[in-house]
Structure 1
Amino acid sequence: MPNSLLTVSDQMGREMQVHPHPKRIVSLVPSQTELLYDLGLDAEVLGITKFCIHPDQWFRTKTRIGGTKDVNIELIKSLEPDLIIANKEENEKEQIEALRQFAPVWVSDIVNYSEAFTMIRSVAQITGRVAHGQQLLAKIEKAFQQMPSHPLHPSAAYLIWKDPYMTVGSDTFIHNILSLAGFQNCFAATLRYPAITVADLQEKAPEYLFLSSEPYPFKMKHIKALQADLPHTKIHLVNGEMFSWYGSRMQFTPGYIGELLQSIV
């Protein structure tokens, strides 16, 4: 007899039916693509985005179905997926609705550590990798329990984009990681990813300013330009994946934060 379908709900509260062990998965989110790999899946994953750079062997061999904001719906349909994994923030609502016309789409919605845990547990369940998920979660939990934080809780701002400069509000995963690392987000009164100016940064006068490696690839030249306007702020380049990837890469975040604190405190 064929396996009966499993009824599950995604993080948007939407109920759907999926196969207990899906064999034709498409992932629209880089951090969740890496999670699928670390859950022990391989041949079951058919399609990923052009931004799914981890693991490298998947990036080089899996079918690329477009970007996170502009997926190729017809190409995905041709893969005949039995499960599509998406994210509320990273993917477009209209495209998710179009994909739902021919496959179950499980959508994550993550703004903090706890919701990331829930996502990992859920994805492990719907892909039939519960044991792998439990092992991964135990590893991540242990790492975060040992993660150091800045003892003085200094003010900080975090830039993700240039032209215009964009920072992070209090309802973002990056904000949560900053808080766990002991920093007070200067723009915590805002939501999502507001555009700001140099004048805004000067008004806030953060003790630290972090320039992310993604989605905008900040470089040393950007530190030099901003330092002229913020002479009393300590400006550092940081690995954006360690602050914003909410999948299995979280197991490395505490170690990275520890190294960062050692280098700047």
Structure 2
Amino acid sequence: MKLKTLIDQIGTSHSFTTSPQRIISLVPSQTELLFELGLESRLVGITKFCVHPCHLKSTIKLVGGTKKVHFEKIKLLKPDIIICNKEENTKEIVEELSKICPVWITDIITIEDNFQMINDFGKLFNCRTEAQKWNDKLAFALSDFKNFVKNIPVKKVAYFIWKDPFMVAGRDNFINELLKLNHFENIYANNSEKAGRYPEIEIEKIRSAGDPDLVFLSSEPFPFKEEHAFEIGLHTHHATTVFVDGEMFSWYGSRLLKAFDYFKKLHAKL
């Protein structure tokens, strides 16, 4: 048997004699990507948050969430590989899962990281042609979108992801990368150590933090409503509050293709 060695996005080396046939995915956006790569028949376990495509939840075993999984259920499924993400799944979960089978970890901060993940999956699951097709589609759509947005002036934004406490997207994450791509300057993405990736903020200080032109309230992980928009709006100077689709700003993988169209419509509304 020929041994194939591949390295995941946190630098861990994995060796396989054959392409993994029994896959568990603990990341919703990556579950969607695996489906789009034609690997549905190999998926044996997913999370309760893996909602795209919607039929998967009724046909594939649910093994918990992204932060809390049922290890016994996973063992019984006898996976060849478990797909995790550095941000979505905890180190403790990964260490425990590693006792069951190889755990492949992705780390997606930039769009280039996204291309790399798709390329890696092509090699890992022996679906290079499908992976290349997706990367070609995404590269074309990215180029088209950059052309679309090139003359749109930069606006300052605050992107809210949580309430009680208020939390926002900071630096070094995929959301911030997509904000930058859209010519949105994230007021909480400065280089100070206090900023962090998803900092807690004091809503009373939003004007001194950068006085945004736009306040984005994400649909996930916290479902913001009108009363939250009103509360936040009391503390801004002139900001327009906009409810945005969190999947489009935070899901990587194949979802990015739909995101480019969504962003064009968002700019048209603004």
| 1:241-252 equivalences in 2 (<5 Å) | 241-252=247-258
Counterpart of 1:216? 222
State the 4+ residue runs in structure 1 displaced beyond 3 angstroms: none
Q: How large is the RMSD of aligned CA atoms in angstroms?
A: 1.3
Give the Å deviation of 1:19: 4.8
Counterpart of 2:203? 198
- 1:41 pairs, out of 39, 42, 58, with 39
Q: Percent identity?
A: 42
Secondary structure class of the residue paired with 2:105: strand
Give the Å deviation of 1:126: 0.5
Counterpart of 2:269? 263
Alignment partners' CA distance in 1, 2:15 and 2:3: 6
Counterpart of 2:75? 77
Amino acid in structure 1 at the alignment position of 2:205: D
Secondary structure class of the residue paired with 1:47: strand
Query: Unmatched 5+ residue regions in structure 2?
Result: none
| 1:100-139 equivalences in 2 (<5 Å) | 100-139=98-137
Is the 1:152–1:182 contact (alpha carbons within 8 Å) kept by the matching residues of 2?
Answer: yes
Amino acid in structure 1 at the alignment position of 2:266: L
| 1:145-156 equivalences in 2 (<5 Å) | 145-147=143-145, 148-149=148-149, 151-156=152-157
Alignment partners' CA distance in 1, 2:70 and 2:55: 22
Query: Unmatched 5+ residue regions in structure 1?
Result: none
Is the 1:18–1:83 contact (alpha carbons within 8 Å) kept by the matching residues of 2?
Answer: no
Secondary structure class of the residue paired with 1:103: coil
Alignment partners' CA distance in 2, 1:248 and 1:133: 10
Give the Å deviation of 1:253: 1.1
Is the 2:157–2:214 contact (alpha carbons within 8 Å) kept by the matching residues of 1?
Answer: yes
Secondary structure class of the residue paired with 2:24: strand
Counterpart of 2:161? 160
Alignment partners' CA distance in 1, 2:225 and 2:144: 30
Counterpart of 2:232? 226
Is the 2:207–2:237 contact (alpha carbons within 8 Å) kept by the matching residues of 1?
Answer: no
Give TM-score, length-normalised by structure 2.
Answer: 0.94
How big is each residue's C-alpha offset from its partner over 1:210-244, in whole Å with a ceiling of 9 and x where there is no partner?
00000111123322222222251011000000000
Alignment partners' CA distance in 2, 1:236 and 1:20: 48
Counterpart of 1:56? 54
Q: How many residues align?
A: 262
Amino acid in structure 2 at the alignment position of 1:253: A
Counterpart of 2:11? 13
Give the Å deviation of 1:43: 1.6
Counterpart of 2:180? 179
